[in-house]
Amino acid sequence: MDYPIETLRHSAAHLLASAVKQLFPEAKFDIGPATEQGFYYDFDLEHRFTAEDLKALEKAMKKLIGRKIPFERFEVSRDEAKKLLADQPYKLERLADIEEGATISFYKSGDFTDLCRGPHVGNSGEIGAVKLTAVAGSYFRGDEKNPMLQRIYGTAFATEEELQNYLRQMEEAAKRDHRKLGVELDLFGFSDQVGPGLVLWHPRGALIRHLIETYWKEEHYRNGYELLYTPHIGQSTLWETSGHLNFYHDGMYAPMQIDEKDYYVKPMNCPFHIEVYQSRLRSYRELPMRWAELGTVYRYEKSGSLHGLMRVRGFTQDDAHIICTPESIEDEICEVLRFSLHINRAFGFTDIKPYLSTRPEKAVGEPERWEKATASLAKAVEKCGLKCEVDEGGGAFYGPKIDLKIKDAIGREWQTTTIQFDFNLPERFDMTYVGEDGQRHRPYMVHRALLGSLERFFGILVEHYAGAFPLWLAPEQARLLPVTENQLEAAKALRAELLKEGFRVGIETQSAGLGAKIRAARQMRIPYLLVVGEREAANRTMSVRSRRDGELGELSVGEIVERMRKEVAEKTI
Ligand SMILES: [Zn+2]
Ligand SMILES: [Zn+2]
């Protein structure tokens, strides 16, 4: 039988716990969910797990797989559950999380029994292949006030072949890890003094960000958007009206007092855009509004969940809000989707897949509005010639959404674009427009981000290109390499000409051998190396090596400019 991959992986987590119980009977158990990449299980144990232990545990797990042990479910009362978990303090806390009156179920596989909602595979033999990948510290419930547990990571697949593919992909991913390349290419950094999750963009990274932002802004104006700038902080009354202080309080930074009023750093841009809308009475003739902002927001993330640029505490969303009449909503969504594909493709992502999330059980807004909105999302996807996967009930309480996932150069999926309806904020802020009938109506509102955040998108870009940015994004597009000091002046003159043509060109001034100069430039993934020796200096030419096309021979400034212009216009590699 084919099981969902999560079921397979969560079942493998039980096997891991079972193996730990065999080899380290004194271990205390927390939980072991499936994750996007595999699974983990958290243990409390005085002994520190070593690489050797992981090998032994993996071996024990494989034995359990070979024995085809059935997973058996049974339900018990709360008192019986407490008895079963009497010597497992973390499990008892997890048990206390289960609502009064809810079913309490356990799964037994061989000698191991776990408090668990399920589901699981029929028997352990159905887990085709497992691999334990790492061990790391992890606070109980992710809270640093709690004890530190040991988290063992692993992954599981239906077949050995899929596992091997995954491991190859991981190896490739480690080579292009943006945190490693961020240091090597001097793109960005963090500082303990500044604080965790707060990014410092170094000149080379900042230059790439500038190019992304400029392109993004120009494309927005070209595609019927207007740009806004709004403040970083807003009064508590704003966040009360928006509801953020109620449902998003944990994600917000503590307030600061100014003139005896509380001000909060913004976790989202929406309320500010709404205030612009509310600045005067709006007519249906003005709609749709398409207001975009590169808005920097701050959100509290647990320190344990921070990860390079992928998860940070301060980031800049490429945000926009579309406010329109119900009649134009379908066209608007279509347009956003088309625009998103256009932007994502410009950055080299051509494999894009939409996911549609529909109405959850607890939701605000009239059901008819939900239906119309969901239908318009689905139709827009169809019109763009895409097929979407539907996540029934997976929408936010305030509206349905479409997420787009892009595939990177090594086949990993990343969510970038979100197109999210909102039936909550227009209500809370009492947004209206005067319709053709002279009456007040409630507009539709859609939040959308195409790249997500600049920080995370930049991290994805670094990994996608493995640091070798296409010419239009490369911070240093070419570097002049004088063979000896005698050619330095000639190289400087050539550089000045290329700078005048608008290219970003560096020059190597160290007195090292040519081989060392080339190696240093290659390490920085510079697209064009322009070597100037005696002959070239006399001819006012350069011997050109392109990162993409190899040796190009001796070219004049004019020839190089023409070539680079063409390549920049192509955008992607
Ligand atoms: Zn389970
Ligand atoms: Zn918003």
How far does the centroid of ligand 1 lie from the alpha carbon of residue 33, in Å? 8
H/E element holding 515?
Answer: helix 514-523
Whether 336 and 445 have beta carbons less than 8 Å apart is answered as no
Q: How many DSSP H helices and E strands does the chain contain?
A: 18, 27
Q: What is the pLDDT of residue 572?
A: 59
CB distance 127 to 15 below 8 Å: yes
Query: Contact, 264 vs 296, CB < 8 A?
Result: no
Listed in sequence order, the residues at least 6 apart from 74 whose beta carbon sits closer than 8 Å to its beta carbon are 105, 106, 108
Residues recognised as catalytic: 270, 299, 317, 319, 321, 401, 447
Global confidence as pTM: 0.85
From the CA of 11, the nearest ligand is 1
Proportion of the chain above pLDDT 90, given as a percent: 86
Q: Map residue 111 onto helix, strand or coil.
A: coil
Ligand 2 centroid to residue 224 C-alpha, Å? 18
Each residue's pLDDT tens digit, 134-154: 999 999 998 889 999 999 999
Separation of CA 318 and ligand 2 centre (Å): 10
Triad 423, 372, 385: Cα angle to 5°: 115
Strand partners, 315: 297
Q: For residue 367, name the pLDDT band (cuts at 50, 70, 90).
A: confident
Distance 330 CA to ligand 2 centre (A): 19
User: Rounded to whole angstroms, how far apart are CA atoms 446 and 333?
Assistant: 9
The answer to whether 457 and 401 have CB atoms below 8 angstroms apart is no
Residues 12-69 have pLDDT tens digits of 999 999 999 999 999 999 999 999 889 999 999 999 999 999 999 999 999 999 999 9
Q: Which residue has the tokens 């009360």?
A: 240
Mean predicted confidence (pLDDT) in 243-263? 94
Ligand in closest contact with the CA of 422: 2
Ligand nearest to the CA of 319: 2
pLDDT at 127 over 80: yes
| 369: phi then psi, degrees, rounded to nearest 5 | -65, -40
